[in-house]
Amino acid sequence: MCRLIVDVGLPDRDGLNVITAIRAWSPVPIIVLSARTAEAQRLAAFENGADDCVIKPFSPPELLARARASVRRHVRGDLPMGVLELGDVSIDLSRRVAHHRYGRDVRLTPLEHRILETLARYGDRIVTHSALIKEVWGPHRDDSRALRVYIGSLRKKLEVDPSRPKHILTELGAGYRLVTDAGA
């Protein structure tokens, strides 16, 4: 299985643009190397489609372990490849596109797609906060606040009434559950 390690401080181009361009056509695991320690810069890498981020200087054995873990997450073959129907929105998980019933495109970020893919993989079961964070951001991240922000963003884009969601449900104290039209 192929995987990419991208340094965001490339001498001839912006590494974030490289990640965005790759993510537009491939779900290949991408690990970012960065000397940038500011949280906003690391978050930008994740927002542009990175699967993991390693800060320089780094331990080569840790980088290899993270590369193996990213491949395991991607080769499990359990990524859903169908179409999710959520009210007026259809999301094609394999093509990573979403459309509103009335012809309007719905733009989802790479992280929003990964959150939906993870929720879809669990079907109608609860996905705990920690499991969702680990699958979307990797094992060394524990930021439930960021998860809540992304869930809120998904609800604004996909729910008819984001304040009363019917598809991306919060299970208090536990996590989230995805209810598709087929499961409603």
* pLDDT tens digit sequence for 62-86: 888 888 887 776 655 444 557 888 8
Residue 170 covered by a domain: yes
Q: What's the pLDDT at 26?
A: 66
Q: Are residues 88 and 168 in the same domain?
A: yes
Q: Are residues 22 and 95 in the same domain?
A: no
Half-sphere CA count of 129, side-chain side, radius 13 A: 15
How many domains is the chain built from? 2
CATH of the domain at 127: 1.10.10.10
- Sheet of 89-92, strand order: 83-86, 89-92, 97-100
Residue 183 covered by a domain: no
- Is the distance from CB of 156 to CB of 76 less than 8 angstroms? no
Q: Is the pLDDT of residue 49 over 80?
A: yes
Q: Are residues 92 and 147 in the same domain?
A: yes
Q: Are residues 158 and 93 in the same domain?
A: yes
Structural domain boundaries, residue 110: 83-178
Q: Are residues 36 and 95 in the same domain?
A: no
Q: Are residues 89 and 160 in the same domain?
A: yes
Burial class (CB in 10 A: 0-12, 13-18, 19+), 48: buried
Give me the mean pLDDT over the 156-179 stretch.
92
